[in-house]
Structure 1
């Protein structure tokens, strides 16, 4: 009989992952909620009534928990078992710091750990088409791959413990900030009677939303080439026009207003003639980082 794969946390994400894993072999899970345990049983997953009920049953246990403190608490419990798992795969969304603390707890007990952050929604999880951001030691990542590959469409190997979660946190931060900028933009567009579908089409061009990412980050920032192009001064001028238009239309803006400040700083520093990707140099100074390849 195939070995069971364990999972702690049977919420929407956990249950979707467990269901996808079930296609490839037996899955045993635990959730504090009786309702979630029943839903898992209805899906064909074996459940236990307590976390301790997983002890000795599964060599690999995945975590899909709602809060970082829950992940730390479970890691501490697993580290105290007399019959611990060989490997813990963290799929909950936690900070890199939480991942590193959990890894240290488990490593002290001789248990491997990887952070395998999930990118995508519940539908892709249930379909077994998950994108994972993977962090951990080479040995632990190699041990995790056979399990993850059962339900993965792609696995990004990001490096050491915490790198997977860090990537997800950064990715989600971008998505959530961009969402606010887009809402502000579409509110202005509606005030101007610009059809929403038309603006979606405009922004979806190669010269639209992808331009700052592919050209300015992917090329100019990484090559350190800031000559010519759209200047800081001109970008600042356009940003001012957007702010003025929003004020005239009575559209509250938050993210767009905050994003204007670095243009003022760069202009004051004499960077006006450089491509506006040169704003990256402000963060290089502030954070002591480098963006060049």
Structure 2
């Protein structure tokens, strides 16, 4: 496998940042996106079709919104399956349904193409720094053969098992992320209404049993009006929770805690925050709790 070039499909919020890391590592990247300006903005060459991407490199990476988009790119009339050649590898960095991933793995394997699912975590900041965590599923030898491509974008790349294991792990992680973010948002609105100093409240939480990723890494900025733009939107968070619940159903696991984050991020979407970063869920909860905002705009301060 040539280790100096990669085809990359989907250069959105995360894909563009990963592409930039690959390019800066000296790898030639041919990118394809619905927005034809995105590949060049990320430092990549611009492809005009999936066929061009597949013809360009032995390794093709995908970073797409959901399984429907992945299936369209792989199985579409002019998709990867139509043009792939034996010996190629496709790495899916999307957040996708494990059942779809496993099915696509089988279709591509029949053509002699390796398909690896690699869920990512860390958000936009980690993507820019190349410190993402990768949760990988697929054959061990296939994964080892592409670790050179993971190195510029991640600080941790863990083989979680067979096909679908990476995307399953990603859904488990994202569900906990959704629960902690939604629950902490509710707690912070309650703290604001109670007249508590929010930085002191966070200090208590972060040294007590309520500590979580949101209290440690999100709300110290949010309470000062910095929503840490660039991460997962409320619509995408809702999609991930739904995927988790469906995966739990497939595994025969009772999902008793799915309703909370579904309601919270569904509320955010209904109130117009759907395309905004999911941290805005705190404003949605604040809206229905009396118009509460955690931070006070500069002009409103005494």
Q: Tell me which interval the TM-score lies in, with the shorter structure as reference length.
A: 0.5 to 0.7
Residue pairs, 1:9-158, within 5 angstroms: 9-24=10-25, 25-34=27-36, 38-76=37-75, 77-81=79-83, 83=85, 86-158=88-160
Change (3 A) 1:85 1:31: farther
What is the distance in 1 between the residues matched to 2:33 and 2:87? 18
The answer to whether the 8 Å contact 1:93/1:165 transfers is yes
User: Do the aligned residues in 2 keep the contact of 1:40 with 1:47 (CA within 8 Å)?
Assistant: yes
CA distance in 1, matches of 2:73, 2:107: 10
Q: Secondary structure at the match of 1:188?
A: helix
Q: CA deviation at 1:67?
A: 2.0
How does the TM-score come out when normalised to structure 1? Answer: 0.67
- The answer to whether the Cα contact below 8 Å between 1:32 and 1:50 also exists between their aligned partners in 2 is no
Q: Is the 8 A contact 2:191 2:198 kept in 1?
A: yes
Show the counterpart of 2:184: 182
Secondary structure of 2:56's match?
coil
Instruction: Tell me the alpha carbon deviations over residues 200-250 of structure 1, each in whole angstroms, 9 at most, x when there is no partner.
Output: 11111154426xxxxxxxxxxxxxxxxxxxxxxxxxxxxxxxxxxxxxxxx
Q: Distance in 1 between matches of 2:86 and 2:19?
A: 20
CA apart distance, 1:66:
1.4
Distance 1:42 1:175 in 2: 30
Question: Relative to structure 1, is the Cα distance of residues 113 and 17 closer, same or farther in structure 2, using a 3 angstrom cutoff?
Answer: same
Q: Per-residue CA shift, 1:172-195, capped at 9, x if unaligned? A: 111111222112222222222221
5+ residue gaps in structure 1?
Answer: 211-253, 259-293
Q: For 2:169, what is the secondary structure of its paired residue? A: helix
Contact 1:55–1:84, Cα closer than 8 Å, also in 2:
no
Spell out the pairing of 1:201-280 with structure 2 (5 A cutoff): 201-205=203-207, 207-209=209-211, 255=260
Aligned residue pair count:
211
Match of 1:171 among 161, 170, 173: 173
User: Deviation per CA, 1:89-144, whole angstroms, max 9, x where unpaired?
Assistant: 00011111121122112111110011111101122212222210111111211122
Q: Distance in 1 between matches of 2:48 and 2:20?
A: 19
SS in 2 for 1:171: helix
Distance 2:156 2:84 in 1: 35
In structure 2, do the counterparts of structure 1 residues 176 and 137 end up closer, same or farther at CA, with 3 Å as the change threshold?
A: same
1:4 alignment partner in structure 2: 5
Give me the TM-score of the superposition, normalised by structure 2: 0.65
CA distance in 2: counterparts of 1:85 and 1:198, whole angstroms: 57
Question: How far apart are the structure 1 equivalents of 2:149 and 2:158?
Answer: 15
| Contact persistence 2:131–2:153 (CA under 8 A) | yes
Q: Distance in 1 between matches of 2:29 and 2:82?
A: 22
Root-mean-square deviation over aligned CA pairs: 2.2
Contact residue 14 and residue 124 of structure 2 kept, 8 A: yes
SS where residue 171 of structure 2 aligns?
A: helix
Q: Which residue of 1 aligns with 2:221?
A: none
Give me the whole-angstrom Cα distance separating, in 1, the residues matched to 2:196 and 2:84: 65
**Structure 2: tracts of 5 or more residues without a match:** 213-258, 264-302
Max radius of gyration: which structure? Answer: 1
Cα–Cα, structure 1 residues 149 and 2, in superposed 2: closer, same or farther, change >3 Å?
Answer: closer
Q: Distance in 2 between matches of 1:179 and 1:43?
A: 30
8 Å CA contact 1:58–1:85 kept in 2: the answer is: no
Q: Does the CA-based 8 Å contact 1:136-1:161 persist in structure 2?
A: yes
